[in-house]
C-alpha cells in the first residue's frame, strides 16, 4: 500500500524539502499540498526545482483528498489549529512546528507568548527524536518533530547525560544557517545584511531552550538534580547547517577512550547519527539526514566538550519528519532518506 501524504504549507523551506523527499520515497507519495499565498498554482511552476516531478501538482488552500498522514510546516501556534481536525479523526500527524514539543501548556504560554491552541492534544503527542523515542513513535499518531537546535544539542549530550557522566550547568553555543529563519521571515535576513556577518540573538531567551531541558531531563539518572542549560544561538552567513558546541562539567574522571566508546555504543543502531573521531564540519551533512557528534574530554578543566552538526532542513526538520513517517508505518528508518551528503 502506498502511503498517501499531505503537506500543510508546502511553500516554506521545510515543506518544500519534505515534498522533495517524498518524491524519492519508495512507499509514500505526495497527494496534496497547501499554501496560502500560492494556492491555485502548480507546485512545479511556483518552484522550478520541483517541476520535473510536481509539474501538475496543484497547491490548494485546504487538504481536500483522503490522506494517511499529514506533515504540517505551518508557523508555530498556527500549526496546531490546522493539525487538530486531522488528529480528531485519527489521521497520523507530524507537526514540524513547535506546537506539540512542550508537554506543559503553561510553559508553552511562557515561551511563545500565547495560549496553546489545542492543549487537549498535548498528552498524546510524542517527541519525534528517533534515536531516543523510536518505540514510542511507532505507537503514536501525533508526532512533535524536534527543532533543529534541540536535535543537534540533545544528540550531542544524550549519551553523557543518560550515563551520568556530566552535570549542570551546561552551556550550548550554536550556529545556524539563514534558511533556519524560514521563507516567510521579514527584514534582517537579506544578503546585504547577513553576508560577512555573525551575530548572537535571543540570548538566554530562545524558545528551543525549554525543549532541550525537557527532553534531556528525561534521560537523567539523578532526577533530583535540576538540569540547567544556557543556550546562545548565532546566525552565520551560510544557507544550511547547524553547529552546536556543548560544554558540561564532568562528574568524575573518564578517559577519552571511554567517552568515545560510550558515544559509539549509544548510537551503534542509529542509521543517521554517528560519533566521529574528528571535529565535524556542517558541510559534511549538507543535503543528508546525518547528525555527526564529536565528544572530547578537556582534561585540564574536567569538562566534556561535544560538537554536533546537521543540516537544519534535513535532520533538523523535513528529513527527521520523513524518518518519523517511516517509524509510524513500520518502515526502515532510512527509507527515502539520503545518508550521504553533497560534496563539495
Instruction: Pinpoint the residues of the chain covered by CATH 3.30.360.10.
Output: 149-311
Q: Which residue has the higher pLDDT, 263 or 1?
A: 263
List all residues 6 or more positions away from 14 whose beta carbon is below 8 Å from its beta carbon: 73, 96, 182, 313, 317, 318, 321
Residue 124 CA to residue 120 CA, distance in Å, equals: 8
Cell numbers describing residue 167? 552535570
pLDDT digits (tens, 9 = 90+) for 156-210: 999 999 999 999 999 999 999 999 887 765 556 788 889 999 999 999 999 999 9
Using 50, 70 and 90 to split pLDDT, how confident is the model at 221?
confident
Selected catalytic residue, list 83, 87, 148, 291: 148
Q: Give pLDDT, residue 70.
A: 98
Q: Does domain 149-311 have CATH number 3.40.50.800?
A: no
- Run of H or E residues at 292: strand 291-298
The pTM of the full predicted model, rounded to 2 decimals, is: 0.97
Pairing of strands 170-176, 142-144: unpaired
Local confidence band at 45 (pLDDT 50, 70, 90 cut-offs):
very high
Closest CA to 209 of 158, 258, 153: 153
Taking each helix axis as running N to C, give the angle between helix 148-162 and helix 130-138, from 0 to 180 degrees, rounded to the nearest 10. Answer: 100
- For 3-146+315-328, give the CATH class: alpha beta
CATH 3.40.50.720 domain extents, the chain: 3-146+315-328
Is 87 marked active-site?
no
Amino acid at each position: 500500500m502506498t502511503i498517501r501524504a499531505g503537506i500543510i504549507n508546502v511553500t516554506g523551506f521545510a515543506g518544500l524539502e519534505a515534498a522533495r523527499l517524498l518524491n524519492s520515497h519508495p512507499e509514500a507519495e505526495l497527494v496534496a499540498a497547501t499554501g496560502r499565498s500560492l494556492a491555485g498554482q502548480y507546485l512545479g511552476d511556483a518552484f522550478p526545482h520541483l517541476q520535473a516531478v510536481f509539474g501538475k501538482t496543484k497547491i490548494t488552500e485546504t487538504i481536500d483528498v483522503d490522506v494517511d498522514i499529514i506533515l504540517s510546516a505551518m508557523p508555530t501556534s498556527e500549526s496546531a489549529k490546522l493539525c487538530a481536525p486531522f488528529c480528531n479523526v485519527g489521521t497520523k500527524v507530524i507537526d514540524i512546528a513547535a506546537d506539540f514539543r512542550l508537554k506543559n501548556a503553561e510553559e508553552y504560554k511562557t515561551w511563545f507568548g500565547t495560549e496553546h491552541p489545542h492543549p487537549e492534544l498535548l498528552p498524546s503527542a510524542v517527541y519525534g527524536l528517533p534515536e531516543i523515542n523510536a518505540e514510542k513513535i511507532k505507537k503514536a499518531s501525533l508526532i512533535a518533530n524536534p527543532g533543529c537546535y534541540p536535535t543537534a544539542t540533545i544528540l550531542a549530550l544524550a549519551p553523557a547525560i543518560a550515563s551520568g557522566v556530566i552535570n549542570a550547568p551546561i552551556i550550548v553555543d550554536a550556529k545556524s544557517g539563514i534558511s533556519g529563519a524560514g521563507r516567510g521571515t521579514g527584514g534582517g535576513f537579506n544578503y546585504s545584511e547577513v553576508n560577512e556577518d555573525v551575530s548572537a540573538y535571543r540570548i538566554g531567551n530562545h524558545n528551543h531552550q525549554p525543549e532541550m531541558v525537557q527532553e534531556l531531563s528525561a534521560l537523567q539518572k539523578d532526577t533530583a538534580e535540576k538540569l540547567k542549560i544556557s543556550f546562545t544561538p548565532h546566525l552565520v552567513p551560510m544557507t544550511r547547517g547547524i553547529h552546536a558546541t556543548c560544554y558540561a562539567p564532568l562528574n568524575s574522571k573518564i578517559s577519552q577512550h571511554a567517552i568515545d566508546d560510550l558515544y559509539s555504543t549509544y548510537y551503534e543502531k542509529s542509521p543517521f547519527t554517528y560519533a566521529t573521531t574528528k571535529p565535524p564540519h556542517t558541510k559534511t551533512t549538507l543535503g543528508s539526514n546525518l547528525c555527526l557528534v564529536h565528544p572530547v574530554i578537556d582534561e585540564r578543566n574536567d569538562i566534556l566538550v561535544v560538537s554536533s552538526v546537521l543540516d537544519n532542513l534535513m535532520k533538523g526538520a523535513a528529513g527527521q519528519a520523513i524518518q518519523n513517517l517511516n517509524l509510524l508505518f513500520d518502515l526502515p528508518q532510512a527509507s527515502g532518506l539520503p545518508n550521504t551528503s553533497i560534496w563539495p
